Amino acid sequence: MKEFQLIEHYFRNKGQKRRDVELSIGDDCALVNPAENKSIAISCDTLVENVHFLADIPAHALGYKSLAVNLSDLAAMGAEPAWFTLAITLPSVEPEWLERFSDGLFEIAEYYGIALIGGDTTRGPRCISITINGQVIKGSALTRGGACNGDWIYVTGTLGDSALGLDILRGAKIVNTEDKEYLINRHYYPTPRVLAGQALRNLATSAIDLSDGLVSDIQHVLKASKVGAIIDVSQIPLSASIKANLSREEALSYALTGGEDYELLFTVPESQRGAIDTALIHAGVKFVKIGQICAGDKLKLVDDGEPFVPVSRGFEHF
């Protein structure tokens, strides 16, 4: 199968159709028409085999996750998904694999109303690169740089499940049969908190998605906002599955440093706490207060008032 046949069969005329797309796949560029008074939020993620995903990941899961991790970036900015491009590098054309990959990709694209408008294909080691675009009303985007002394720190969902799921797949951990599928699926099929991010606009002072681990990612907020933070690890949300299979110390280590949760961490002033409760309940997202922004530039982890040191660090790209 040639390149243009591959594109035509697996990617063109599939998925979400949007009225703001003037010209899509099939020309040198796509043409889109952004809404008036909105900024464009743009992000790019590359997933490389045996670096960001295991070689035996199901193709459907890879298609889904490739877009999900990019949608999580839009969620952290409070943006509404609009368009994306896909550059896919493959060692060979495998029709069955491509069919399943395409199904996973367009399953999540349809759910979040985002359209594939272009990209590229080439031969080489398996690699997926997506550039995603969203829209947000000018002046309302969430950033990492707005946290203030006294703001409360929250996270959505539960933390550590994805990292434990990855270790199960690697054969590094054995868990109860009844928890295994849940934990692996939290690694394969993360939930980008798109609606939660939109609900936080004009309420939260800063936000970031948790891709490299809470300890690593919150440092970006502290640096951008020029503040410090105190996190009470006893408040970290843990799933029933992770608690059933790990000691408390090990579970907290996964939650703090494991990465790939794609939950949101955000900061809220005292004056907005009630509004946040209402907004996120309406968005259908569970969230927990885990700490507070403070003066200085350091992150302090405490457990029942005593200093706490996690046993590993978050993911670093280099």
Q: Residue 45 annotated as binding?
A: yes
CA distances to 147, 212, 265, 285, 310 from 288, rounded to whole Å, are: 17, 19, 10, 10, 20
Q: Residue 120 annotated as binding?
A: yes
Q: Residue 43 annotated as binding?
A: yes
CA distances to 1, 22, 291 from 78, rounded to whole Å, are: 40, 25, 22
Q: Residue 22 annotated as binding?
A: no
Q: Would residue 68 be called left, alpha or beta, if left means φ above 0 and alpha means ψ between -120 and 50 degrees?
A: alpha
Q: Residue 209 annotated as binding?
A: yes
Q: Residue 162 annotated as binding?
A: no
Contact (Cβ atoms closer than 8 angstroms) between residue 209 and residue 274: no
Q: What does DSSP say about strands 299-303 and 264-268: parallel, antiparallel, or unpaired?
A: unpaired
Q: Residue 266 annotated as binding?
A: no
Q: Residue 119 annotated as binding?
A: yes
The dihedral of CA 32, 34, 35, 36: what is its sign?
negative
Q: Residue 277 annotated as binding?
A: no
Binding site feature residues for substrate: 52, 260, 315
Give the residue ranges of the annotated binding site: 28, 43, 45, 52, 73, 119-120, 144, 209, 211-212, 260, 315
Binding residues for Mg(2+): 28, 43, 45, 73, 120, 209, 212
Binding positions for ATP:
119-120, 144, 211
